[in-house]
Amino acid sequence: MKFFIDTANIDQIKEANDLGILDGVTTNPSLMAKEGIKGQDNILKHYVDICNIVDGDVSAEVIATDFDGIVKEGEALAELHPQIVVKVPMIKDGIKAIRYFTDKGIKTNCTLVFSPGQAILAAKAGATYVSPFIGRLDDISNEGVELIQQIVNIYTIHGFETEVLAASIRHSMHIIGCAEAGADVVTCPLDPILGLLKHPLTDIGLEKFLADHNKK
């Protein structure tokens, strides 16, 4: 299972990358705005900065919602850096654009996916990644991790090559659930990744080992 970090914050990307477990980055317009990255030139430069930190795929999301606009923006993003994956929303023109990008050899991430039917369409269009948002489903009393399991099952039965990228992860147990469900990738903020490190018995055990070592 690959680990992506879901942020546009350079310090957090560097921290996760320094751990040696990072396989890529996902961003979205809200995450870019949160870091105060505004204006087309700054946004494009920021994507390149991220690509220069991490050795892996970096999802950059289009803003356009019509086919021509998505294609124009996506092609410009893809030209920025070989690691860029064009992130396209799960809408009719988005699916058409994903097919277009797939045929041109441009990697895509189909975002804002909330149902197995949407995931089937993304795979049929040849998306490199499909991003089901599990935290947002939990927010409305649906089982986000169950959706991951459903999509993984469908893709396995039908041999779809699209990778299941579990998104909208809120806590460490989401990561465990996605791992059990067979997600190919989890994209998470830094805290849930660091949360995986924690166990009180590790802390107690280490304290005891060090105390015993220092006994005279």
Task: Give the active site residues.
Answer: 87
In the list 111, 118, 128, 162, the residue contacting ligand E4P (rule: CB under 6 A) is: 111
Q: For residue 213, give every residue at least 6 positions away whose Cβ sits within 8 Å of its Cβ, in sequence order, or none.
A: none
- State which residue, 60 or 78, has the beta carbon closest to ligand E4P: 60
Q: In Å, how far from its chain's centre is CA 2?
A: 9
- State which residue, 111 or 118, has the beta carbon closest to ligand E4P: 111
Q: What is the DSSP string of 131-146?
A: EEBHHHHHHTT--HHH
Question: 150 to 169, contacts with ligand E4P by CB under 6 A?
Answer: 167-168
Question: Cβ of residue 63: shortest distance to ligand E4P, in angstroms?
Answer: 14
Task: For residue 197, give both structure tokens.
Answer: 């490190």
Q: In Å, how far from its chain's centre is CA 97?
A: 20
Integer Cα distance of 152 and 190 in angstroms: 25
In the list 23, 131, 132, 186, the residue contacting ligand E4P (rule: CB under 6 A) is: 131
Question: Cβ of residue 108: shortest distance to ligand E4P, in angstroms?
Answer: 13
In this structure, how many other beta carbons lie within 10 angstroms of the beta carbon of residue 36?
8
Instruction: List the x/- string, 177-196, binding to ligand E4P by CB under 6 A.
Output: ----------x---------
- Window of 71-79, 99-107, 131-139, 154-162 that interacts with ligand E4P by CB under 6 A: 131-139
